[in-house]
Amino acid sequence: MSLGKAMIHARKQKSIARAASSGEPREHLAAQSGLILQMPVLVLNASYEPINICGARRALVLVLKGIARTEEEHGMTLHAQRSRMAMPSVIRLLEYRRIPYQTRALSRKNILLRDRNACQYCGVVLASGDLTLDHVIPRSRGGNSTWENLVACCHSCNRRKGNRMLHEIDDMALMREPRPFSLHTSRQIMRMLGRGDDRWRKYLFY
């Protein structure tokens, strides 16, 4: 599961929790929604360092294969024909994995993920389909398609900026300096996703 999908599923999880408060069994509600195997699971290294987010289906496979163990549970149960298994919320790898420092591939999807689906000029948060990418230094003026020169942008700001440089526009500026998507960026997103979940918080906020 990508971090972008994890953000979407985290929002859907909250709606399941609200529905569960109405009195229906959580297992039944999750199965009805078709989300139980797509729920985000925090992946820890053997050292308890957060390194990724995966879907619950992948987490279950890792646990069943003896590659990881469940550290925290969602509070839901997966019912199979011959067994039941608690759905993990946090898993930990049993063997330490070295995570090399590397950035993600430069793509529209990863630019929007890095910028949290927010226009970097006005700050409005929109669905991916309602955003475009803007070259801070326009291509016609020597700008390249790089992490440092591409930002998420709403269509309104994109039209307003046009082919101009930022110093040529009095009241338009970047919210933050664009940087490559790094492991640090991924961890910031993990912290954002785990802010409202006590099961994740103790591994993300230290």
Indicate the domain borders of the chain. Answer: 3-101+182-204, 108-168
- Cβ(89)–Cβ(200) under 8 Å? yes
pLDDT digits (tens, 9 = 90+) for 111-158: 998 898 999 999 999 998 999 999 999 999 999 999 999 999 999 999
3-state secondary structure at position 187:
helix
DSSP 4-49: HHHHHHHHHHHHHHHHHTTTS-HHHHHHHHT-GGGSEEEEE-TTS-
CATH number given to 108-168? 1.10.30.50
E strands along 82-192, which residues? 84-93, 131-135, 150-154
- Cβ(69)–Cβ(49) under 8 Å? no
Minimum mean pLDDT among 57-61, 146-150, 181-185: which range? 181-185
Q: What integer pLDDT is reported at residue 32 of this predicted model? A: 47
